[in-house]
Chain A
């Protein structure tokens, strides 16, 4: 019963985002601010994780490919496809669920418990539209770029690790990168990213928006936002893979 209540409130919250904004210029500026916060603010952590994951994938693949019948350039294929299909869209979005999701839930939750949301509503401003819609638009537009950067940096990390450790020559790695490349994999990754961005912002905003109490409850909302977003990302990762790739 409680699940149905949450689902009902969640969809009402999403529906309330669709009402006409009070002032488009203000919303445009807020979208740009959110893009900077979500996109530029996450660039460092995304690049750092990607470069090391690409490096680890390359070294572990070489280490496990001991069969002389398997050509060494397969390492490049594995690094490329792992980064593009799974690592960049899914793992990076799980990281963003932690970083961006908790930030959204705690920001909106704090505004709720300190009556800032009530102040917006008394002024006659659509509080969900003003607070959540710019975050949603910003996340849906900026996260695909983060994921594309992650793919590039991760593959570069793999190449660099292979080169520095001497486990795979550059020409073999690049040959693997180019071998039977399927461009649709990038489209698939972007579709997943957009869905995951929607999940992160909507779930985190919902948790923040319906926070009741004080600092303790804001912390709990923030934790729930990360946990629920992460679980839903994994579930939708499976569903989308099944629907689109199989």
Chain B
């Protein structure tokens, strides 16, 4: 479980997050949604420690992450897996080396075990026989899968996904969404997804946080989102013609 308590964050005098509190539950897919510039990426970056919060705290299973220094954060960081929007695979390494990287740096596994674990992770994301390919030789969907394989290599307790479907075709998006849901169930991770893809929201939304102008505006489940009665949320949810049709 990850608990965000009264978190505020600003840049150069401009408030980006204003007193946001929310609980991200274990074994569930937790979604952070909102318009571009609403502050959801800043929230996720604060949660993983890429930004320090100005006020408030972030707790990983009651461990106050925001009060820790770099060294103290290390054990928690090793429990975090992250899928970046652009995959963030290391260009100089092939698929196998990318997946093995956290194992090589953070564990004492011998090489043979690391290879075995990397192969298991790659099979889990349906990407066998691609070990020796480099990121430049992969499609967008394959890159995401490799990034997921790397994120789950250390058996994370917390899985973050930043816009996992951006740049993917609808069919591949569904595959990635299903994969994330399966992994959350299988590893019982606290999964936090930052997205504005409504298809993902409706498919995976077990615990949704809607951020608007840096504030927590609404939270609930996917089946509640269509009847929230919240005008800002409705504007966001029913922006597309398909969603308007669904409402009718």
CB-defined contacts of B138 to chain A, threshold 8 Å: none
User: Which B residue sits closest to A115, measured CB to CB?
Assistant: B88
Q: Does A123 contact B88, Cβ atoms closer than 8 Å?
A: no
Residues in B lying within 8 Å of A, measured CB to CB: 48-50, 70, 73-75, 77-78, 80, 82, 84-86, 88-91, 101-102, 104-106, 160
Q: Does B104 contact A122, Cβ atoms closer than 8 Å?
A: no
Write the nearest CB–CB distance from A78 to chain B, whole angstroms.
45
Extra contacts, 7 of them, besides A114-B88, A123-B105 (Cβ < 8 A), are: A116-B90, A118-B88, A122-B49, A122-B80, A122-B160, A123-B102, A124-B77
CB-defined contacts of A149 to chain B, threshold 8 Å: none
Write the nearest CB–CB distance from A120 to chain B, whole angstroms.
9
Q: Does A123 contact B77, Cβ atoms closer than 8 Å?
A: yes
User: Which B residue sits closest to A114, measured CB to CB?
Assistant: B86
Q: Does A124 contact B74, Cβ atoms closer than 8 Å?
A: yes
Q: Does A115 contact B105, Cβ atoms closer than 8 Å?
A: no
User: Which B residue sits closest to A124, measured CB to CB?
Assistant: B77
* B105 contact from A22, A110, A114, A122, Cβ within 8 A: A22
Write the nearest CB–CB distance from A115 to chain B, whole angstroms.
4
Known pairs A114-B88, A115-B85; A23 contacts B80 (CB<8 A): no
Q: Does A125 contact B (CB under 8 A)?
A: yes
Q: Does B105 contact A23, Cβ atoms closer than 8 Å?
A: yes
Query: Can you give 25 A-B contacts (C-beta < 8 A)?
Result: A22-B105, A26-B104, A110-B91, A111-B90, A111-B91, A114-B88, A114-B91, A115-B84, A115-B85, A115-B88, A116-B88, A116-B90, A116-B91, A118-B50, A118-B84, A118-B88, A119-B84, A119-B88, A121-B49, A121-B50, A122-B48, A122-B49, A123-B105, A123-B106, A125-B105
CB-defined contacts of A123 to chain B, threshold 8 Å: 77-78, 80, 101-102, 105-106
How far does the alpha carbon of A118 sit from the alpha carbon of B105 in the complex, in Å? 15
How far does the alpha carbon of A90 sit from the alpha carbon of B106 in the complex, in Å? 41
Which secondary structure characterizes the binding site on chain B? Answer: mixed
Write the nearest CB–CB distance from B211 to chain A, whole angstroms.
20
Q: Does B88 contact A124, Cβ atoms closer than 8 Å?
A: no
How far does the alpha carbon of A121 sit from the alpha carbon of B105 in the complex, in Å? 12
Residues in A lying within 8 Å of B, measured CB to CB: 22-23, 26, 110-111, 114-116, 118-119, 121-126, 130
Known pairs A116-B88, A116-B91; A122 contacts B106 (CB<8 A): no
The 10 A-B pairs of least Cβ separation, nearest first, read A124-B77, A115-B88, A124-B74, A119-B88, A115-B84, A122-B82, A116-B88, A122-B48, A123-B102, A22-B105
CB-defined contacts of A116 to chain B, threshold 8 Å: 88-91
Write the nearest CB–CB distance from A2 to chain B, whole angstroms.
14
How far does the alpha carbon of A115 sit from the alpha carbon of B86 in the complex, in Å? 8
How far does the alpha carbon of A126 sit from the alpha carbon of B74 in the complex, in Å? 10
How far does the alpha carbon of A26 sit from the alpha carbon of B48 in the complex, in Å? 25
Write the nearest CB–CB distance from B42 to chain A, whole angstroms.
13
How far does the alpha carbon of A110 sit from the alpha carbon of B89 in the complex, in Å? 12
How far does the alpha carbon of A115 sit from the alpha carbon of B91 in the complex, in Å? 12
CB-defined contacts of B80 to chain A, threshold 8 Å: 122-123
How far does the alpha carbon of A115 sit from the alpha carbon of B90 in the complex, in Å? 10
Write the nearest CB–CB distance from A130 to chain B, whole angstroms.
8
* A124 contact from B73, B89, B91, B101, Cβ within 8 A: B73
How far does the alpha carbon of A115 sit from the alpha carbon of B88 in the complex, in Å? 5
Q: Does A26 contact B86, Cβ atoms closer than 8 Å?
A: no
How far does the alpha carbon of A32 sit from the alpha carbon of B172 in the complex, in Å? 40
How far does the alpha carbon of A111 sit from the alpha carbon of B84 in the complex, in Å? 13
Write the nearest CB–CB distance from B127 to chain A, whole angstroms.
18
How far does the alpha carbon of A149 sit from the alpha carbon of B86 in the complex, in Å? 43
Write the nearest CB–CB distance from B104 to chain A, whole angstroms.
6
How far does the alpha carbon of A115 sit from the alpha carbon of B199 in the complex, in Å? 26
Identify the interface centre among B80, B105, B160: most chain A CB within 10 Å of its CB: B105
Write the nearest CB–CB distance from B159 to chain A, whole angstroms.
11
Identify the interface centre among A23, A114, A121, A124: most chain B CB within 10 Å of its CB: A124
Write the nearest CB–CB distance from B118 to chain A, whole angstroms.
15
CB-defined contacts of B74 to chain A, threshold 8 Å: 124
